[in-house]
Amino acid sequence: MHFTNMTAKLLACASLVAAFPHTTSPVEKRYTEDEILKALAGTYSLINTTSALNGNPIPDEAYGAAPVGLLIYTASGWMSATITATEPEFRPNLTFPYQPNDTDADWAAVGRHSIGYAGPLRLSDAIPANETNGQVFHGPLTVANVPTWVGASHRRNYTVVEDGGETFLRIGSERGGGYTGALWWKKIKEE
């Protein structure tokens, strides 16, 4: 009997609440993919990378000690990422296109210490997402300097942090084999 009275009270409250206009708090609001992509859209400059193996920090050998990079997200659902090491031993003095006197070793150093890829940007439904955190897919990639990445999709967790009038984007990734990475990007302000 008590359960029936409680149920009736809850239904009455629900009817009363439905009769009044209300707003949903940011925690409860369900964001559309378009709203999230619009919030993430922009060009970001790499400021920091960290790598771990099975949860233990390791040097980020692929990118070197002071990498540079750009990450571009568009509101229409496209992305592009480029990261490269800056150490002279990883960046020999080469030009493009390839010249006959260039060595394979020099080009291998560039290839080992840089990444570039682009393709669709999609929202993942694996975890709840909003304008400041969630999960996206880079891909299926349409172009990548790593041949096996073409056609692949890469899951990335994102967190947006506003601090001192600047917007920062943390991208977390699983790289397979127990390797993980966290990359911090700073949004470039449009002028």
DSSP string, 149-182: GTT--EEEEEEEEEETTEEEEEEEEEEETTEEEE
Residue 11 lies in a domain: no
Residue 35 lies in a domain: yes
Residue 177 lies in a domain: yes
> Domain with 60 in it: what CATH number?
2.40.128
CA distance 73 to 83: 15
The pLDDT profile of the chain, 191 residues, written as one tens digit per residue, is 333 343 333 333 333 333 334 344 455 578 899 999 999 999 999 999 999 999 999 988 888 899 999 999 999 999 999 999 999 999 999 999 999 999 999 999 999 999 999 999 999 999 999 999 999 999 999 999 999 999 999 999 999 999 999 999 999 998 889 999 999 999 999 87
Residue 56 lies in a domain: yes
Give 122's strand partners. Answer: 137
CA distance 174 to 155: 8
Query: Are 142 and 116 spatial neighbours (Cβ–Cβ below 8 Å)?
Result: no
Query: Are 158 and 40 spatial neighbours (Cβ–Cβ below 8 Å)?
Result: yes
The backbone torsions φ and ψ at residue 133, rounded to the nearest 5 degrees and listed phi first, read: -160, 150
CA distance 65 to 185: 16
Paired sense of beta strands 56-58 and 68-73, if any: unpaired
Q: Structure pTM?
A: 0.81
CA 50 to chain centre: 14
pLDDT confidence of residue 28: 58
Residue 45 structural domain: 29-187
Residue 8 lies in a domain: no
State the total domains in the chain: 1
Residue 2 lies in a domain: no
Query: Are 149 and 138 spatial neighbours (Cβ–Cβ below 8 Å)?
Result: no
Say how many C-beta atoms besides its own lie within 10 A of residue 130's C-beta: 15
